[in-house]
Amino acid sequence: MSKEIITVKNFSKSFGTKKVIDDLTFEVFEGEVFAFLGANGSGKTTTIRCLLNILQEDSGELLINNEVYSPTLSSLLGYLPEERGLYLTSRVLETLVYFGQLKGLSKIEATENARNYLQRVDLADKENVDIKKLSSGQQQKIQLGITVINKPKLLILDEPTKGLDPVNRELLLNILLELNKSGSTIVFSTHQMEEVEKIADRLLMIKDGRAALYGSVADVKSKYSDNSLYLNFEGKLQEETNLFNAVINKNRAVIRLKDGASKQEVIKYLADSVNVLKLQESAPSLNDIFIQVMNK
């Protein structure tokens, strides 16, 4: 198993009398893409802020690389907060270089990384433009650039695609995947479940300050699977056998497995009895799971 890069143990945090996080424990492993989910006000941002030592936890332990975070670790980190902005009257390149230097890069390295990034996001011709003159989408690309300028080992992104159009969202997700392939661990919070399905390896869903779901995306989906198969077929299919019940509509059927029946047995039966054109395992979307968990 990979090494833990984030360790959160028995973390609790209240604001006044309101308990926002209650005894939360989770880990993030090196090299994975970890999604942090929860409804608005569920404590995602608070957890991230406590992890980055911006806010103080009431109890528990929050570690990055086995240490309490301090800006001396900033060379390892890329952080994109939910409430984010830019120095609007500064120029694009100098802003990226400034943050690169704050994260421990030399001016030459920071300039090189900044130019490469601007090239990657089609903003190379804007390096000497004041940020306020950029469009909102372009400004968000600069914000992401600030986050990744130091090619961080750990990226923490609080709702990174908020406000992005579909094209730029796709671009951002691709950049994140590229960074992940090159070795960066990515932790991101989002409300967009398709993003989680697309890039996340594992997830944590918080409800009422506690972990409601935690594990790999596949495991979570499997846990919420309703044990059904979708079938396109030719031939005659029985509506009920000792293995399943089938709801048939023309040449399509939803096969609901009976208790004790395995998918392998059902698939073998179907292959023997009809001409199987397409067989798909049914699993609820993360969106459905999210709604289901939140409504519990």
Partner 1 sequence: MKKSLIVAKREYIKVVRKPSFWLSTLFFPVFIVAVALISGFSSVQFEEKLKSGLSEANKVLIVDESNFIKDYFFVDKIERADNLEESITEVVNGNADAVIYFPADVTSTKALQIYTQDQGLFLNERYNSFADTLLKQSILSDLNDPAKVEVYNSILHYQVTTYKDGVETNFSLSKLLVPGISLVLYFILTTFATSYLLLSVSEEKENRVMEIVLSAIKPKDLIVGKIIGLIGIIITQVLLLIALSIIGVLLVGNLLQGSTATGINPVNIPLGSIDIEISQLIGQIILGIIFTLSGFFILACVMVGVGAASPTYKEAQSLSSIFILISIFPIYFITTILGDPSGTLAQILSYFPFTASLILLLRSALDALSTTEAVIGVALLVLYCVLGVILAFKLFEFGALEYNKKISLSEFISGKRKSRKNP
Give the type of residue at 88. Answer: L
Please state the closest distance from residue 149 (CB atom) to partner 1, in A.
10
Binding test (CB under 8 A) with partner 1, winner from 8, 77, 229, 255: 77
The one segment of 36-44, 45-53, 164-172, 195-203 that binds partner 1 by CB under 8 A: 45-53
Report the distance separating Cα 80 and Cα 100, nearest Å.
14
3-state SS, residue 30: coil
Convert 113-148 to b/e letters by CB count within 10 Å (16 or more is b).
bbeebbebbebeebbeeebeebeeebbbbbbbbbbb
Q: Does 200 bind partner 1 (CB under 8 A)?
A: no
Residue (186 or 243) nearer to partner 1, CB: 186
The one segment of 84-92, 186-194, 238-246, 270-278 that binds partner 1 by CB under 8 A: 84-92
Please list the alpha-helical segments (H only) found in the chain. 44-51, 92-102, 107-120, 136-148, 166-181, 193-199, 217-223, 263-273, 286-295
Report the distance separating Cα 94 and Cα 115, nearest Å.
11
Angle at 206 (CA atoms; ends 202, 212), nearest 5 degrees:
80
Task: Give first-to-last CA distance, the chain, whole Å.
Answer: 33
Binding test (CB under 8 A) with partner 1, winner from 41, 66, 67, 68: 68
Residue (8 or 217) nearer to partner 1, CB: 8
Please state the closest distance from residue 274 (CB atom) to partner 1, in A.
59
Asked if 55 and 21 touch (Cβ cutoff 8 Å), the reply is: no
Q: Does 221 bind partner 1 (CB under 8 A)?
A: no
Q: Does 71 bind partner 1 (CB under 8 A)?
A: yes
Tell me which residues in 124-143 interact with partner 1 (CB under 8 A). 143
Q: Does 166 bind partner 1 (CB under 8 A)?
A: no
Report the distance separating Cα 97 and Cα 87, nearest Å.
13
Q: Does 65 bind partner 1 (CB under 8 A)?
A: no
Residue (56 or 295) nearer to partner 1, CB: 56
Residue (82 or 288) nearer to partner 1, CB: 82
Q: Does 90 bind partner 1 (CB under 8 A)?
A: yes
The one segment of 47-55, 194-202, 235-243, 281-289 that binds partner 1 by CB under 8 A: 47-55
Positive or negative, the Cα torsion across 243, 245, 248, 252? negative
Helix 107-120 and helix 136-148: axis angle, to 10°? 140
Binding test (CB under 8 A) with partner 1, winner from 1, 18, 40, 85: 85
Asked if 129 and 92 touch (Cβ cutoff 8 Å), the reply is: yes
Please state the closest distance from residue 89 (CB atom) to partner 1, in A.
8
Residue (18 or 296) nearer to partner 1, CB: 18
Binding test (CB under 8 A) with partner 1, winner from 2, 3, 10, 15: 15
Residue (86 or 124) nearer to partner 1, CB: 86
Residues that bind partner 1 (CB under 8 A): 15-16, 49, 52-56, 58, 68, 70-71, 74, 77, 79-81, 83-90, 98-99, 101-103, 143, 146-147
